[in-house]
Amino acid sequence: MNSTLPPTRDLPPGRQAEIRAEVERAVSARTSFRFAPLVTAVTAVGAVVAVVAFSQPWQRPEAVGPAQQETTVVVSTTSSPVPTKPVIAGLTPERIAEIEEGCVRIGPGAGKGTLYQYGEDEAGKWALVYTESAALSCTIDGPGMPYNAGFSSVPDLTWVSGPFRVDTNGGSAGGDILGNKEIYRGMHGSATAAGRVTPQVARVTFTYDGQTVDATIANGTFVARNIFPTDWSIPEAEGFEVRAYDKAGALLGSTTDLGKKCFVDPDGRIVDGGWNSSDPTTCDRAVRWK
Amino acid sequence: MTTEDPDDRALWAQAAAGSGHAFGVLFDRHAKAVYNHCFRLSASWAAAEDHLQATFLLAWRKRDRLRLERDSALPWLLAVATNVVRGDRRSAARRLRLFHRVPVEQPVPDHADLVAERVDDQRRMRELLAAVNRLPRNEREALALCVWSGVSYADAAAVLGIAEVSVRARVSKAKARLGRMFAEQPQVVPLAALTVEDR
């Protein structure tokens, strides 16, 4: 008889993500039930939302977007989910509240902000904040401005269009390029892509201007920051790519593919992508985010 | 500073306040350890998947009754898993009595080396459990927690609600009994603590 304890093993490929998704679904259902009276149904029919991907030019050294501006058609949305509180380590509740308030004030100017990610890198401090209808890529404690935010409208936070959705993207040239103000000297250039992911996503990469970085993934969101030299300028040719992978390293999707698709909720209504002429039966199913 | 890796206590506090995502992070952190613990108690990888899910659902239901005193939620999760497996075993026994038959070997498609390895794991674990199940339940659970899953005596004492010295005594007795059981075997049940993964 071989009485050696069998080795420790991973779950079969994909099973951990499946079980986690099932657990999160059950957990979310219970949360929704508990707070059901507080849920507000939000319906928007036929609204066309122009997405402004970047903040005003005067707010940045040279604020130019690495990606094309997007236009998103929202035909209809369903009930908003009950938001769960993101986990932010290392910041006091007071500091989190300051960031949420500061980023929203400089960004859309209205709405209740919720901080989903916060970090620091060579280009400075950054935060990802969501309101009920917008995603904000915010820089903090920059020269001359305590907060600065580029933001994009998000059709419906309930749904993610596929394995991930890029909700906001933008960039800043380096502080040493010709014509920049003195206060920006020595600042690194940066390009940021941020958005939401489904639980099966284990890795997100962001490629821009020939440089690829891994995103940080937390609280159901991702933030990828490509940092460039201080004399880096926004390239003439625009375009970027974000890719998502599962734990086994399999590609789940890329912006190149997802950008061509439309997505529907379980009722068959288009919640993202496509245009008025899109046939919902040709769309993919959106994934519940929260 | 980044937003990665908040500790279990922070995550648990968030989960207790209703954050499904914080709970999901705890799941990712401890799923593998709980999965392997469940396997060691059931000798079935397939059942361990079900037990893993049931463990976290039960933990969620109990979340507001627990204030995490330790750095890691794992010992408590393993204790919950132990209860889940025990409860399932009781249900299985009832079904067994009802149907008067036991599926000794679950049919597993033999299409890959991975499957063969897992089938072999299950056979070995069944043999081990056959011996370990002859121990008193309290010794068996202390052994599974502290020896097989590497939980410290102090943490095991906290989640079992007994004194640390009692845990040590149970583990010691379990080892001694197993040592006698396997005295005639060329190999013995591993009695050294194993490193717990993903803590």
Whole-angstrom distance, CA of residue A218 vs CA of residue A196: 9
Polymer length of chain B? 199
Of B5, B21, B52, the CB nearest to A220: B21
Point out the least confidently predicted range of A51-60, B60-69, B77-86: A51-60
What's residue A83's pLDDT? 44
Provide, as residue numbers in chain B, all residues whose Cβ is less than 8 Å from the Cβ of A16.
Answer: 28, 31-32
pLDDT on residue A275: 58
CB pair distance less than 8 Å for B1 and A119: yes
Tokens for B124?
């070995």
**Closest Cβ opposite residue A23 in set B1, B53, B127:** B53
How far from chain centre, in Å, is Cα A178?
A: 31
User: Do A120 and B2 lie within an 8 Å CB cutoff?
Assistant: yes
State which amino acid sits at residue A94. Answer: E
- With cut-offs at 50, 70 and 90, classify the pLDDT of residue A193: very high
How far is B100 from chain A, CA to nearest CA, in Å? 28
Average pLDDT over residues A168-194: 85
Q: Name, in order, each residue with C-beta under 8 angstroms of A75's C-beta and a sequence gap of 6 or more.
A: A45, A46, A269, A270, A271, A276
CA distances from residue A33 to A27, A28, A36, B51 in whole angstroms, order as listed: 10, 8, 5, 25
Chain CA centroid to CA B47, Å: 12
**Rounded CA Rg of chain A:** 20
CB < 8 Å to B182, chain A: 3
Reported as a single tens digit per residue, the pLDDT across B158-179 is: 888 888 899 999 999 988 888 8
For residue A197, the surrounding DSSP H or E stretch is strand A189-197
Considering only residues A98 and A169, tell me which one the structure prediction assigns the higher pLDDT.
Answer: A98
- At B97 the pLDDT is 57
Band (pLDDT 50/70/90 cuts) for residue B198 is very low
Q: Calculate mean pLDDT across residues A166-174.
A: 86
| pLDDT over threshold 50, residue A130 | yes
CB pairs under 8 A between A and B: 143
Highest mean pLDDT among A38-52, A59-73, A104-118: A104-118
Facing residue for A3 by CB, picked from B4, B40, B185: B185
Instruction: Tell me which residue has tokens 């943490």.
Output: B155
The pLDDT assigned to A81 comes to: 39
Residue A137 parent element (H or E):
strand A134-142
Residue A66: pLDDT over 50: no
For A88, the 3-state DSSP assignment is coil
Give residue B181's pLDDT: 79
Min Cα separation B11/chain A (Å): 7
What is the pLDDT, as a whole number, of residue A58? 27
Question: Quick one: how far is CA A137 from the chain centroid?
Answer: 9
pLDDT number for residue A197: 95
Highest mean pLDDT among A65-79, B67-81, B110-124 belongs to B67-81
- Could you give the ipTM of this predicted complex? 0.74
Band of pLDDT at residue A241, cut at 50, 70 and 90? very high
A88-92, A127-131, B82-86, B185-189: segment of lowest average pLDDT: B185-189
DSSP bridge partners of A285:
A264
Q: Output the pLDDT for position B114.
A: 65
Task: List the single range of A112-121, A174-183, A281-290 with lowest mean pLDDT.
Answer: A174-183
Q: Which of A171-175, A213-217, A255-259, B182-186 has the lowest mean pLDDT?
A: B182-186
- For residue B138, give the DSSP letter: H
- Convert the pLDDT of each residue in A31-63 to its tens digit: 333 322 222 222 222 222 222 233 322 233 333
Q: Does A147 have pLDDT greater than 60?
A: yes
- Taking an 8 Å cut-off on Cβ atoms, the answer to whether A6 and B39 are in contact is yes
Residue from A131, A128, A111 nearest A119 by CA:
A128
Q: Which residues of B touch A27 (CB under 8 A)?
A: 20, 23-24, 57, 60
Provide, as residue numbers in chain A, all residues whose Cβ is less than 8 Å from the Cβ of B54: none
- Cβ partners under 8 Å of residue B198, min gap 6: B29, B30, B31, B32, B33
Question: Which amino acid type is present at position B159?
Answer: V
Band (A214; pLDDT cuts 50, 70, 90):
very high
- Does A28 contact B20 at a Cβ distance shorter than 8 Å? yes
In whole angstroms, what is the distance from residue B76 CA to residue B62 CA?
11
Which carries the bigger pLDDT value, residue A276 or residue B1? Answer: A276
A16 and B25 in contact by Cβ < 8 A? no
Per-residue pLDDT at A39: 28
Q: Do A3 and B25 touch (CB under 8 A)?
A: no
**Cβ distance A71 to A51 under 8 Å?**
yes
Contacts of A23 in chain B (CB under 8 A): 23-24, 27, 53, 56-57, 60
Residue A47, SS3? strand
Judged by CB atoms closer than 8 Å, whether chains meet at A3 and B189 is answered as yes
Instruction: Report pLDDT for A54.
Output: 30
- Comparing alpha-carbon positions, the chain B residue that sits nearest to A7 is B121
